[in-house]
C-alpha cells in the first residue's frame, strides 16, 4: 500500500513537471521580452502558492504619498488626483514641468510638477521620523503621554516594530469591514465592493499588517482583539488561525444595535463579531459585572447590589479638590479595622500621622502613589460603618481595599428591595444579591455597547457638526480591553486602525476608574470622506493642500476627540455634560492625561548617517524610551548638542564621543535615566562606552536605526 502511494505521488510530480516544461516552452515563444519575463515571474509565484488552508492573491499594490518630500529628478511619483499606486518615474524637470515615464506602460508624459506627489512603494526600505503637530496636557505633573500618529498604518507599524517589538500588552483594532461603502477609506472602502477579488485584496492588506503586529505583541503575555462583521468574519478567522497558531482564539458575538440594521432579503443585523487571541500566560480576568452579562437571568447568583471603591479616582479625585475627605483609616497589624483618624489639612504631610499602637494607616492613595480623597467624609464613614455599608478587603502590599454602598444602593437596602441575610466579620451586610466576579460567555447583549447611543451620539456630543460613520461604543471597547488589562495598570495598548479615537478614550476611562497608568498609541491616516473629496476638488484643492488636510479624519475627528475628552469640553469649548456610565466620573472634569500628535514622515538615509537629522529623530528616541514627560524638541536654528541628558524623559543621548567622561558622570548621577543612545560608528567603542553606564537599555546611533529599516522587505 505504501509503495502504491509513493508511486502515485511520483507519477503526479512527473506530470506536473511535464506541464511546467510545456508551459515554459510556450512562454519562450512570446516575442515581447518584457511580457515574457512578467509571465515567467507570475508563474514562479503561482507555483509557490500553498495548496491547502486560506489561499488568496497577494496582489494589492500599496504605496504611501509623501506630500512633504519635494519632487525632483529620479523621484518616484503619482498624480495627486489619481491612484497613488499608478506610478511614474521623473526623468527631468524644466520650467515646472516634469518629464516622466509610466512604470507599467513605459509611456513618456509631461506633467506639471505641482500635480505630482512623491510616493514610497510597498517593500522599499524606509527611514521614518515623527513630525510634531500638536499636544494636549491636562496632567502636567504626570509622565503619562499617549500618542496619535497620522500615517498609513503599514509604515507606522514598521516604526512601532523598531520601538516596541515584543513589548505590547494589548492590540485592539477595528479594521475596515470591506462593505464597499464610500465614506472614510479605512473604515470601509479599502477595496471596491464590485471588485471580483475584493476578499483576496482585503486579506492581502490585512495579512501584511497583522504580520507586523505579531512582532509587537509580548509572546509571553498579551492579547489581540479584532472586531469584524459578517462580510469578512469567515476569511478573517481563517487568516488569524493560520497566522497565530500559538494563540488561544475565540469569537464573541456582540449586539451593537438593539434597533437593528435592515438588510435586503436578509435578517435584520444586530451584532458583530470580536476575535480574541490570547498569547502566553495572558488570562481573562473575572470582573464584577451586572446581570446583563449573565446568559441565565434566573441565575441565583445574579444581583444588582454593587460595592464601590471608597477612594475617589479620576481627574476630579485628587486631594486638593476635597481636603476634608483626606483622613486615615487605621487597621490592626493583622488587617482588622481599628478606627478612623481626623482629616488632615492640605499643608500637612500624611507621613506625620501617628498611628495608634499596633496599627497602620490607610490613606486614599493610588498605585502610582498619588493622593486622592475618600468618596465620603469622616462622619459619614462612621455612620456607614455602623450600618454595615462599609466593607474591607484582604490586606495587600498597598494597604487594605475599602468599598462602600452608594446612596442609591443604600436606598435599595433600606426600602427592602434587597434582603439583609446577615453580617460579615468586618460588620458589612451580607446579601444574596451581592455582585460577584463572573466570567461572561461568548454572547454579549449589553445596552452600553449600543453603537448609536454610546458611539454616534457620544461623538456628536463631543464634535457637534462633525460626522464619522459607525464609531464604536466607548463602553464596548472599554469592556473588552478591561478583561485583559484590569490587573495591568501600566499596560501598553496599540490601535493601528484608530478611526474616531475610541480606544484612547476608553483607556483614559479605565485609568480614571482605578488610578492606572496605561498608555495608548493610536494610528490613523488622514483620508477625507468621498463627499468631502468631491467638494474639495470642485474648489480646486488637491490631497496634501492645507485645506484638504484640515478635513482629514486624523485632524478633523481623531485628534479633536482626544483633546476634548481629555480636557472635558466639546470642540466649541463648552463643558461636556453628564457622567460616564457606571461611575461618578464627570465628563466635564476630563482626564488626568496628556497626548502628543505626530505625522509620520520619511528621512534620507544618507542624511541620517551623517547626523543631519538628529532634531527630526528626537520624537522617535522619546517614544523608544517609553514616552515619559513632554516630547523634547530643539529649536530649528539650534546646533546639535554634544549631549542631551533628560531626566524627565528618562533618556540621554551622546552625540560627541569626546564628551563621554562628562556624559557618563551625568547619566550615572541620574537614577531616572533608563535609556541611553550613543552616536558612534565604532562598534568596539560603543561597547566600551556602554559598559560604564548604569542604564537598562542602550542603543548605537545611527546604526541601530538604519539597520532596522534597511532590512525591511515588505514585512517578511
Chain segment 550-559, per-residue pLDDT in tens: 999 999 999 9
**pLDDT higher at 467 or 334:** 334
Q: How confident is the model at residue 714 (pLDDT cuts 50, 70, 90)?
A: very low
User: 3-state SS of the chain: helix, strand, coil percent to 5?
Assistant: 35, 25, 45
Give the DSSP letter string of 447-461.
GGG-TIIIIIHHHHH
CA distance 169 to 289: 23
Whether the pLDDT of residue 465 is over 80: the answer is yes
Tell me what pLDDT residue 706 has. 84
Task: Quote the cell numbers at residue 304.
Answer: 444588582
Arithmetic mean of pLDDT, 409-416: 83
Query: Per-residue pLDDT tens for 167-209?
Result: 999 999 999 876 555 444 443 444 444 545 567 778 888 999 9
Q: How far is CA 10 from CA 7, 15, 50, in A?
A: 5, 9, 19
Q: What is the DSSP letter of 640?
A: P
Query: Does residue 36 or residue 54 have the better pLDDT?
Result: 36
Query: How far is residue 244's CA from residue 250's CA, in Å, rounded to a whole number?
Result: 12
Are the C-beta atoms of 679 and 644 separated by less than 8 Å?
no
Q: What is the pLDDT of residue 304?
A: 60
Which whole number is the average pLDDT over 304-321?
80
Q: Which of 641, 672, 676 is nearest to 659 (CA)?
A: 641
What is the C-alpha to C-alpha distance for residues 283 and 275, in angstroms, rounded to an integer? 15
Which residues have CB under 8 Å from 598's CB, separation 6+? Answer: 130, 131, 132, 133, 147, 148, 149, 150, 619
SS3 (DSSP) at 184: coil
pLDDT tens digits for 558-583? 999 999 999 999 999 999 999 998 78
Share of the chain above pLDDT 70, in %: 88
444 strand-pairing partners: 254
Q: What does the pLDDT read at residue 556?
A: 94
Grid cell in block for residue 273: 463579531
111 pLDDT tier (thresholds 50, 70, 90): very high
pLDDT at 713 over 60: no
User: pLDDT digits over 393-404, tens only?
Assistant: 988 877 899 999
What CA–CA distances, in Å, run from 332 to 328, 336, 389, 399? Answer: 13, 5, 20, 11
Q: What sign has the CA pseudo-torsion 630, 323, 310, 357?
A: positive
State residue 224's pLDDT score: 98
Grid coordinates given for 132: 510634531
Provide the pairing of β-strand 248-255 with 443-444.
Answer: parallel
For residue 507, which of 148, 259, 105 has the smallest C-alpha distance? 148
Mean pLDDT (the chain) is: 86
pLDDT in tens, 129-153: 999 999 999 999 899 999 999 998 8
Query: What does the pLDDT read at residue 189?
Result: 42
Residue 291: predicted pLDDT: 74
Task: Please state the rounded mean pLDDT for residues 223-231.
Answer: 93
**Interval 249-306: pLDDT, tens:** 999 999 998 888 777 888 888 999 999 999 999 999 988 887 788 766 555 544 567 7
pLDDT per residue as tens digits for the range 67-80 = 878 899 999 999 98
Residue 42 has pLDDT above 80, yes or no: no
What does the angle CA 634 – CA 165 – CA 566 come to, to the nearest 5 degrees?
55
Q: Please tell me the distance from the alpha carbon of residue 686 to that of residue 692, in angstroms, as a whole number.
A: 10
Q: What is the pTM of this model?
A: 0.75
Distance from C-alpha of 655 to C-alpha of 617, rounded to nearest angstrom: 13
Q: Is pLDDT above 60 for 7?
A: no
Q: What mean pLDDT do residues 456-475 have? A: 92
Residues 79-98, mean pLDDT to the nearest whole number: 91
pLDDT of 9 over the 70 cut: no
Give the mean model confidence (pLDDT) for residues 375-385: 95
pLDDT digits (tens, 9 = 90+) for 688-709: 999 999 999 999 998 888 887 7
pLDDT confidence band for 530 (50 / 70 / 90): confident
pLDDT at 3: 43
- Nearest alpha-carbon partner for 187 in 550, 471, 552, 495: 471
Question: Per-residue pLDDT averaged across 109-127, rounded?
Answer: 86
| Nearby residues of 195 by Cβ (< 8 Å), 6 or more positions away | 201
With 0-12 CB in 10 A as exposed, 13-18 as middle and 19+ as buried, what is 66? Answer: buried
Task: Sort 149 into a burial class: Cβ within 10 Å, 0-12 / 13-18 / 19+.
Answer: buried
Instruction: Return d(Cα 641, Cα 656) in angstroms, integer.
Output: 8
Q: What distance in Å separates the CA atoms of residue 454 and residue 624, rounded to the nearest whole number?
A: 34
* Nearest-angstrom CA–CA distance, 574 and 461: 10
**Gap between the Cα atoms of 97 and 111, Å rounded:** 6
Let me know: does 169 contact 488? Beta carbons within 8 Å: yes
Q: Quick one: which of 698, 624, 638, 704 has its CA closest to 147?
A: 624
Amino acid at each position: 500500500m505504501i509503495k502504491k502511494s509513493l508511486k502515485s505521488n511520483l507519477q503526479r510530480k512527473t506530470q506536473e513537471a511535464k506541464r511546467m516544461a510545456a508551459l515554459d516552452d510556450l512562454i519562450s515563444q512570446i516575442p515581447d521580452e518584457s511580457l515574457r519575463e512578467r509571465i515567467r515571474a507570475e508563474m514562479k509565484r503561482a507555483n509557490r502558492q500553498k495548496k491547502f488552508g486560506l489561499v488568496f492573491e497577494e496582489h494589492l499594490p500599496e504605496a504611501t504619498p509623501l506630500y512633504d518630500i519635494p519632487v525632483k529628478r529620479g523621484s518616484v511619483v503619482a498624480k495627486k488626483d489619481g491612484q497613488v499606486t499608478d506610478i511614474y518615474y521623473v526623468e527631468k524637470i524644466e520650467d515646472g514641468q516634469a518629464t516622466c515615464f509610466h512604470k507599467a506602460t513605459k509611456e513618456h508624459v509631461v506633467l506639471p510638477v505641482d500635480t505630482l506627489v512623491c510616493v514610497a512603494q510597498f517593500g522599499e526600505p524606509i527611514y521614518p521620523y515623527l513630525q510634531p503637530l500638536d499636544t494636549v496636557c491636562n496632567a502636567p505633573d504626570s509622565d503619562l503621554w499617549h500618542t496619535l500618529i497620522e500615517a498609513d498604518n503599514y509604515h507606522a507599524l514598521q516604526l512601532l516594530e523598531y520601538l516596541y517589538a515584543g513589548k505590547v500588552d494589548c492590540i485592539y483594532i477595528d479594521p475596515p469591514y470591506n462593505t464597499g461603502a464610500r465614506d472614510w477609506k479605512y473604515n470601509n472602502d479599502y477595496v471596491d465592493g464590485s471588485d471580483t477579488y475584493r476578499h483576496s485584496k482585503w486579506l492581502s492588506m490585512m495579512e501584511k499588517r497583522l504580520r507586523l503586529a505579531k512582532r509587537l505583541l509580548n509572546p509571553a503575555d498579551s492579547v489581540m482583539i479584532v472586531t469584524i462583521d459578517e462580510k469578512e468574519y469567515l476569511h478573517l478567522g481563517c487568516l488569524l488561525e493560520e497566522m497565530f497558531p500559538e494563540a488561544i482564539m475565540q469569537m464573541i458575538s456582540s449586539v451593537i444595535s438593539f434597533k437593528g440594521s435592515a438588510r435586503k432579503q436578509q435578517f435584520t443585523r444586530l451584532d458583530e463579531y470580536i476575535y480574541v487571541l490570547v498569547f502566553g500566560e495572558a488570562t481573562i480576568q473575572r470582573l464584577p459585572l451586572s446581570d446583563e452579562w449573565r446568559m441565565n437571568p434566573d441565575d441565583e447568583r445574579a444581583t444588582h447590589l454593587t460595592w464601590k471603591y471608597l477612594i475617589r479616582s479620576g481627574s476630579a479625585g485628587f486631594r486638593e479638590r476635597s481636603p476634608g475627605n483626606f483622613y486615615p483609616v487605621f487597621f490592626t497589624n493583622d488587617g482588622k479595622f481599628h478606627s478612623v483618624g481626623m482629616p488632615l489639612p492640605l499643608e500637612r504631610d500624611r507621613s506625620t500621622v501617628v498611628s495608634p499602637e499596633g496599627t497602620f494607616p490607610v490613606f486614599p492613595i493610588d498605585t502610582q502613589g498619588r493622593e486622592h480623597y475618600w468618596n465620603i467624609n469622616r462622619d459619614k464613614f462612621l455612620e456607614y460603618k455602623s450600618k454595615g455599608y462599609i466593607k474591607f478587603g484582604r490586606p495587600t502590599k498597598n494597604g487594605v481595599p475599602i468599598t462602600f454602598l452608594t446612596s442609591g444602593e443604600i436606598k435599595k437596602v433600606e426600602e427592602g428591595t434587597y434582603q439583609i441575610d446577615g453580617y460579615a466579620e468586618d460588620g458589612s451586610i451580607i446579601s444574596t444579591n451581592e455582585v460577584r466576579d463572573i466570567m461572561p460567555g461568548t454572547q454579549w447583549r449589553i445596552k452600553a455597547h449600543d453603537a448609536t447611543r454610546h458611539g454616534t451620539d457620544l461623538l456628536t456630543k463631543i464634535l457637534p457638526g462633525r460626522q464619522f460613520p459607525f464609531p464604536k461604543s466607548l463602553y464596548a471597547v472599554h469592556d473588552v480591553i478591561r478583561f485583559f488589562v484590569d490587573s495591568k495598570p501600566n499596560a501598553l495598548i496599540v490601535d493601528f486602525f484608530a478611526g474616531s479615537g475610541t480606544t484612547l478614550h476608553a483607556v483614559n476611562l479605565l485609568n480614571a476608574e482605578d488610578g492606572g497608568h496605561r498608555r495608548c498609541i493610536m494610528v490613523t491616516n488622514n483620508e477625507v470622506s468621498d463627499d468631502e473629496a468631491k467638494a474639495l476638488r470642485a474648489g480646486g484643492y488637491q490631497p496634501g493642500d492645507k485645506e484638504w488636510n484640515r478635513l482629514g479624519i486624523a485632524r478633523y475627528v481623531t485628534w479633536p476627540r482626544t483633546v476634548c475628552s481629555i480636557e472635558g469640553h466639546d470642540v466649541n469649548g463648552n463643558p461636556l455634560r453628564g457622567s460616564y456610565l457606571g461611575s461618578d466620573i464627570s465628563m466635564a472634569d476630563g482626564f488626568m492625561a496628556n497626548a502628543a500628535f505626530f505625522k509620520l514622515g520619511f528621512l534620507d538615509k544618507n542624511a541620517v548617517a551623517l547626523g543631519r537629522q538628529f532634531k527630526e529623530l528626537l520624537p522617535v528616541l522619546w517614544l523608544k524610551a517609553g514616552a515619559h514627560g513632554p516630547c523634547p524638541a530643539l529649536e530649528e536654528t539650534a546646533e546639535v548638542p554634544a549631549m542631551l541628558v533628560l531626566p524627565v524623559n528618562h533618556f540621554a543621548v551622546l552625540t560627541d564621543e569626546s564628551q563621554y567622561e562628562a556624559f557618563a558622570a551625568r547619566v550615572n548621577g541620574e537614577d531616572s535615566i533608563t535609556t541611553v543612545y550613543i552616536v558612534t560608528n565604532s562598534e568596539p567603542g560603543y561597547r566600551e562606552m556602554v559598559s560604564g553606564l548604569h542604564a537598562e537599555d542602550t542603543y548605537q546611533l545611527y546604526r541601530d536605526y538604519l539597520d532596522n529599516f534597511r532590512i525591511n522587505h515588505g514585512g517578511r
